[in-house]
Amino acid sequence: MPLLHKAAMNFLASASADSRRELQEFARAHASWLDDFALFMALKEEHGLVAWTRWPSDIAARQGEAMKRNKEELASAIEAQKFFQYVFFQQWQKLRAYGRARGIRIIGDLPIYVAHDSADVWANRQFFLLDERGTPLKIAGVPPDYFSATGQCWGNPIYDWPLLKQTGFQWWIERLRAALRLYDFIRIDHFRGFEAYWEVPGNETTAINGRWVKGPGAELFSVLRKELGDLPIIAENLGVITPEVEALRHEFRLPGMAILQFAFGNDPQAPTFKPHNYVRDLVAYTGTHDNDTVVGWWTSSGSGDSTRSAEDVTQEHAYARAYLGFKDDPIHWVLIRAIMSSVANTAIVPMQDLLGLGSQARMNLPGVPSGYWKWRMKPGAASEEIAARLKELATLYDR
């Protein structure tokens, strides 16, 4: 950040007229989110990065005089934030063009919820279930599942869906429009929450004491399709999936997901995750960012890292061996071959699985607030042998 601030100061002090005009044009084109975001981040820095609910009450509540005063006092910091985004978008679009020229498309992840300590919530308090201090009255999560016996308590504030509907879901239209400027496809995390979502009281620390509440359903997606055309969306349809959730997905022709790691155990969706039950309109994964790596999953005892018992693990392994027909082959390549040989339109393999890494390379453990999202691939880790084997499978199965 110090280097970025130095770059911003240099730019604002000495940029050419053409460069300044480009920045201004970028700011105008992205004003629907950039103005609030730049002010929010400038205020975060000014207040030592504490949550917005701990700022002075007048600016936390976005009162007119406080907003005007802070915009004037933090003008250079706000411009710096806009400069950061301007440079990022320039670099990102170059990367995206580089990929497109080589037939590579980018899938972006759009979680259904947003963070409480965000410009989204601070600038749009009316669209979230908050008390007068801005603290969430209701928070998001999921009931007890494969990952956690107490459920996942995410802490994100719940939307005021009736009010969003009254506005024609304009906030959601702009959110999706902004994402489509970055990505070719959008994977919507926790798609089932649009049909019904697990609502937890804001003062809870686990997700046990929640309830299912009906979401906006087809009304939202009808508006999104009308405004944005065909929706290049992948629906993350994992968890407690009902016929109503699948009906919503099918109505708008949104491909779902299949996770091969879940195909051999007690997961309620296990039958649909087996390759012989795949359909073409599907994205198949060995595992996602929320799973252990394939090697980690295969070598795990189950205790302490999931709701599986030792007996469950033994039965899971026996079933997988019988179903996939292997003995001592590397487990990650067995699962990679299984999804690539399937009829699923798209097969996705996390880099950790291509490299055959264990649990130490796990990307994320759902519901755990720190210690994850740190894995990086070292230069040269993807060997020519791995590339050749992947190319062979892609050729064999028309990938």
Active site residues: 189, 236, 290
Q: How many residues does the chain have?
A: 399
DSSP 137: S
Q: How many CA atoms lie within 13 A of 32 on its CB side?
A: 11
CA distance 339 to 278: 10
Contact 60, 52 (CB under 8 A): yes
**Terminal C-alpha separation, the chain:** 41
Amino acid making up residue 354: L
Say if strands 185-189 and 107-111 run parallel, antiparallel, or are unpaired.
Answer: parallel
Dmax over Cα atoms in the chain, in whole Å? 71
- DSSP characters over 231-286: --EEE---SS--HHHHHHHHHTT--EEEEGGGGSSS-TTHHHHSGGG--SSEEEES
Among 170, 159, 182, which residue's Cα sits nearest to residue 110? Answer: 182
Residues 6 or more apart whose CB falls under 8 angstroms from that of 9 comprise: 80
- Structure tokens belonging to residue 326: 């292997």
Q: How far does CA 312 lie from the centroid of its chain?
A: 29
Q: Residue 211 in 3-state DSSP?
A: strand
Report the C-alpha gap between 216 and 20 in whole angstroms: 42
DSSP string covering 28-40: HHTHHHHHHHHHH
